[in-house]
Amino acid sequence: MKGILKLAYKLLVNDKSKFTALLVGITFAVFLIMFITSMFIGVLNHASATVVNIGAPMWVMDSSVQAIISSVGMPDYVLDAVRSIPGVEYAVPLYSGGALVKLPDGTYQGVTVVGLDDTSLFGRPILEQGNISDIYAENGFIVVDDAEYEKLEYPHVGSEFELNDHRGVIVGIAKVTVSGLFGTPTLYTTYERAIQYIPNPRYTISYVLVRPKTPADIPRIKQQVAALGYLALTKDEFMTKNANFFVFQTGGGTNILIMALISFVVGLSISGQTFYTFILENLERFGALKAIGTTNGELVKMILFQAGFTALTGYGLGVGACTLLIYLAKLRLPSYAAMITYPSLLLSLGMVVIIAGVSSYVGVRRVLQIEPFDIFRG
């Protein structure tokens, strides 16, 4: 068997033009599939940046909320009612909204303002500079040092800005796990300061952050929040809700599916046609092997080896090319959202296996029809 596979390998790589065409087709298909899925997964991850960075186990919201960016204000009694639910260890309000700040040079920049509970500061970020207690100082804000940091002209501790004719002072610079998706810098302050500085409707609580006493208390909390007419979700459920919004409500999922299918069809057509041509050009060799006693099973194994070797080599090259491109892109653009995950790797591998299977089937059918008499008669 080892000799048969070695012969199959030499037949494959000695035909450099066909071997190169096969590799290019599969590599290109894998690259496209990996790039598209990695980009989409990265976008979904960044879309839930606030949920990840705050880190609350449960979120209570208006039932009409579709994503973190579309918060609907809730009356104060919701916070009191949630705090009274058995199984709730504590619950705090969170403000999340957009605002326009005026920078020292007179330009304006849109920002996302997150207002933390004044008492606990639950969900506060990790500070690189400054002291978290300074957020209670007059006009105190904390800025997040992420990909959008430069849009605020690289502020430092002590930098000033205007927010709706209110003076703001940077008292800390923070880092977060995931940067935002929509290209706006993020400022943290206290809840009371946020609703004081930013014009709001009658209800100002964007979300209620809840920590249950035990995981077993979660179903009861959800049920009683639903009885109030609101929605309670765990962190993972809220992230899934965000992802579903961008997949099904924005058209992103459909576009990704179409592009992935196009990539798959391109790879399948190129590799299938090229492999079939390779089999046709080597029919005499396969016929000679059959004439000297090589069984059909051994010929099938040769073809499967050739298709599998080419597919896996192209898979490795495609993944490597995609990884390199994403790495270079992030060096140039820190806010670039693409990220390679196991699901995208497995999806690409599955499509490569299908491509290899179809190519093998085409080749096997043609080789099994060979009659040694026809080869030598020619």
pLDDT tens digits along 141-165: 999 988 788 888 888 999 999 998 8
- Predicted confidence (pLDDT) at residue 267 exceeds the cutoff of 70: no
Tokens of 352: 């490569």
The C-alpha atoms of residue 321 and residue 335 are separated, in whole angstroms, by 20
What pLDDT, on the 0 to 100 scale, is given for residue 172? 93
Mean pLDDT of the chain: 83
Please state the three-class secondary structure of the chain as a single string. CHHHHHHHHHHHHHCHHHHHHHHHHHHHHHHHHHHHHHHHHHHHHHHCHHHHHHCCCEEEEECCCCCCCCCCCECHHHHHHHHCCCCEEEEEEEEEEEEEEECCCCCEEEEEEEEECCCCCCCCCEEEEECHHHHHCCCEEEEECCCCHHHHCCCCCCCEEEECCEEEEEEEEEECCCCCCCCCCEEEEEHHHHHHHCCCCCCCECEEEEEECCHHHHHHHHHHHHHCCEEEEEHHHHHHHHHHHHHHHCCHHHHHHHHHHHHHHHHHHHHHHHHHHHHHHCHHHHHHHHHCCCCHHHHHHHHHHHHHHHHHHHHHHHHHHHHHHHHHHHHHCCCCCCCCCHHHHHHHHHHHHHHHHHHHHHHHHHHHCCCHHHHHHC
Select from 302, 299, 311, 303 the least CA-distant residue to 268: 311
Neighbouring-strand partners of residue 60? 208, 232
What pLDDT, on the 0 to 100 scale, is given for residue 251? 67
- Predicted confidence (pLDDT) at residue 378 exceeds the cutoff of 60: no
pLDDT tens digits along 324-343: 988 888 777 766 767 788 88
Neighbouring-strand partners of residue 190? 116
Mean pLDDT of 193-216: 90
What is the residue type of 337? A
Mean pLDDT of 79-94: 93
In sequence order, which residues have a C-beta less than 8 Å from that of residue 19 and are 6 or more positions away?
12, 13, 310
Select from 222, 360, 375 the least CA-distant residue to 302: 360
- Predicted confidence (pLDDT) at residue 266 exceeds the cutoff of 80: no
In sequence order, which residues have a C-beta less than 8 Å from that of residue 172 and are 6 or more positions away?
127, 129, 130, 131, 132, 134, 135, 142, 143, 157
Tokens of 157: 């501790």
- Predicted confidence (pLDDT) at residue 1 exceeds the cutoff of 60: no
Other CB atoms within 10 Å distance of the CB of residue 21? 18
Is residue 198 within 8 A of residue 97, CB to CB? The reply is: yes
- Predicted confidence (pLDDT) at residue 195 exceeds the cutoff of 60: yes
The pLDDT > 70 percentage for the chain reads 93
Mean pLDDT of 97-109: 88
Tokens of 329: 């892109």
Select from 11, 27, 67 the least CA-distant residue to 206: 67
Select from 211, 213, 208 the least CA-distant residue to 117: 208
pLDDT tens digits along 53-66: 888 999 999 988 88
Write the burial class of residue 289 (CB in 10 Å: 0-12 exposed, 13-18 middle, 19+ buried).
Answer: buried
Is residue 113 within 8 A of residue 99, CB to CB? The reply is: yes
Tokens of 231: 């929605």
What is the residue type of 363? G
In sequence order, which residues have a C-beta less than 8 Å from that of residue 283 and are 6 or more positions away?
366, 367, 370, 375
Is residue 103 within 8 A of residue 109, CB to CB? The reply is: yes
Residue with the bigger pLDDT between 240 and 274: it is: 240
- Predicted confidence (pLDDT) at residue 240 exceeds the cutoff of 80: yes
